Amino acid sequence: MPKSRPPLEVWHNIRRIIWSRDKHQCVHCGRKITLSEAEIDHIVSGKLGTNKFSNLRTLCKVCHATRLDHRHRVVARNALRDGLINADWEPWE
């Protein structure tokens, strides 16, 4: 996550804009998803990341959890616990 977070109401607007820009689908696997299913992912995360639209993309929960980024290990662990991914999942990117 970038160093600063926008206010919650601003983030809700950003989520809708990015999801619409990405044609209501996961940009990795192409699956159509609802806004409530959408995970808005920072392509570059951490201190180097920003909330600029060019650094944001829409992912489904599975693709977000299996993304190769050490900052996403908690997301992957939760997805394993919730049965979204199998124990033999392979990270991508």
- pLDDT of 9-55, one tens digit each? 999 999 999 999 999 999 999 999 999 999 999 998 877 888 999 99
CA dist., res. 79 & res. 84, Å (int): 5
> What is the value of pTM for the model shown?
0.81
How confident is the model over 54-78, as a mean pLDDT?
A: 85
User: Across-strand partners of 92?
Assistant: 67
Domains of the chain: 8-81 (3.40.1800.10)
End-to-end CA gap in the chain: 18
Interstrand relation of 39-42 and 56-59 (parallel, antiparallel or unpaired): antiparallel
